[in-house]
A = this chain, B = another copy of it.
Amino acid sequence: MPTTTGSPTKAKAIFLKDYPEGMPTSSLFEMRDVSVTAPQEDALLLRTVWMSVDPYMRGRMNPHIKSYIPPFSLDHPLDGGAVSEVMVSNHQGFKAGDYVVGFSGGWQEYHVSNGEGLQKVDGGVAPLSAYLGVLGMPGITAWAGMSQILNPVEGETLFVSGAAGAVGSLVCQLGKLKGMRVVGTAGSKEKCQWLEDEIGCDVALNYKDYPDSRALTKALSQAAPKGINCYFENVGGMHLEAALNCIAFGGRIALCGMISQYNNKAPEAGPNNLVNMIGRGVLAQGFIVSNYMHLVPQFVGEVAPLLAQGKVQFRETVYEGLAKAPEAFLGLFKGDNFGKAVIRIGPDRIA
């Protein structure tokens, strides 16, 4: 029989009150009490330990978006990646006390799952929060963009925008491990310092030092004197235009994100030099991580040992408590977060 013995009947969850136009503000978010329902047969009750905020969530706040992933509903809690503890299991694949990571379950303290898409994780291999970052969705994104689209070659030059973020910082390190020259951009002096000193970037550019794509092009052409063979795109706008100015013959571009565009009230004009893609034979592939979920075992097989051996580093900006989730999310668009932004929703174990 389904049971919720030992679990609360009410919990907190965050709702979107309305769809934002332009930059979202904290007033759009509201924390509400929701009922915790008992899991049916073959289902689980999960308690969120860590939740993730990621740039793609801004896209889901546009009710008209046509994407692989549907818009958020205003009638349900927001949703997103989370590491949770299994509180009650009526599912034979899981037992109470297991930790699981999934694309669902964030923005709320408890939720019921049918187990689909959940992976068991072990806090002994890496901190649980790492399964939302370097060993989770951002990690797979970085690895898939590199291995499935960019096909990097030793000695080539890799350019990474948003290089100090959860995705970008792993891309940079995978590039260095491959023997590439790596140039990254970030939005502060500290982040650039970290990229050069810890992550191994050959050059890190603070994009705030460059007022336009022309200025960024100049800096980029100095940092990448042989041209850019691979571009991992997280930012869009002047970053893309500058990259296309410096792209090498046969260049590849992994279009992962365009965070500079997500809060535009009206669409912003695109790069004026797409024609370079023709004469230089450039490939651009847009992707979202769910296209590559079948490769998770290969990703884990490659990246987990690198992490264990200290060959890959990661950094987190930790927010405490569900109430901080909107702030963490809004920080994505203000450059507030260094590495992966994660929110601790509850302790690893509750007594």
A interface residues, Cβ below 8 angstroms from B: 59, 65-69, 236, 240, 249, 255-258, 261-262, 267-288, 291
19 additional A-B residue pairs with CB within 8 Å, beyond A236-B274, A262-B275, A267-B272: A59-B279, A67-B280, A68-B281, A69-B279, A236-B275, A240-B274, A255-B274, A255-B278, A257-B278, A268-B272, A269-B272, A270-B273, A277-B284, A279-B288, A280-B286, A281-B285, A281-B288, A281-B291, A283-B285
B269 touches A270 (CB 8 A): yes
B286 touches A283 (CB 8 A): yes
A66 touches B280 (CB 8 A): yes
Q: Which residues of the other chain, B, contact A256 by a CB distance below 8 angstroms?
A: 278
Distance in angstroms from A294 CB to nearest chain B CB is: 14
Docked complex Cα distance between A279 and B268 (Å): 17
Residue among A261, A278, A282 with the most chain B CB within 10 A? A278
Q: Which residues of the other chain, B, contact A261 by a CB distance below 8 angstroms?
A: 275
- A-side binding surface: helix, strand, loop or mixed? loop
B281 touches A287 (CB 8 A): yes
A286 touches B291 (CB 8 A): no
B281 touches A283 (CB 8 A): no
A267 touches B273 (CB 8 A): yes
Q: Which residues of the other chain, B, contact A276 by a CB distance below 8 angstroms?
A: 66, 286
Distance in angstroms from A283 CB to nearest chain B CB is: 5
Distance in angstroms from A347 CB to nearest chain B CB is: 36
B280 touches A258 (CB 8 A): no
Contact A278 B291, CB 8 Å, known A267-B272, A270-B269: no
Distance in angstroms from A56 CB to nearest chain B CB is: 9
Distance in angstroms from A13 CB to nearest chain B CB is: 26
Q: Which residues of the other chain, B, contact A65 by a CB distance below 8 angstroms?
A: 279
Distance in angstroms from A57 CB to nearest chain B CB is: 13
Q: Which residues of the other chain, B, contact A262 by a CB distance below 8 angstroms?
A: 275
Look across to chain B and name the residue whose beta carbon is closest to the beta carbon of A69.
B279
Closest 5 CB pairs of A and B: A67-B279, A270-B270, A277-B286, A269-B269, A267-B272
Q: Which residues of the other chain, B, contact A288 by a CB distance below 8 angstroms?
A: 278-279, 281
Docked complex Cα distance between A278 and B286 (Å): 4
B280 touches A283 (CB 8 A): no
Docked complex Cα distance between A114 and B68 (Å): 54
Distance in angstroms from A301 CB to nearest chain B CB is: 24
11 contacting pairs across A/B (C-beta < 8 A): A66-B276, A66-B280, A68-B249, A68-B279, A68-B281, A240-B274, A255-B277, A261-B275, A262-B275, A270-B274, A284-B285
Distance in angstroms from A107 CB to nearest chain B CB is: 21
Q: Which residues of the other chain, B, contact A272 by a CB distance below 8 angstroms?
A: 267-270
Look across to chain B and name the residue whose beta carbon is closest to the beta carbon of A278.
B286
Contact A284 B281, CB 8 Å, known A270-B272, A272-B267, A274-B236: no
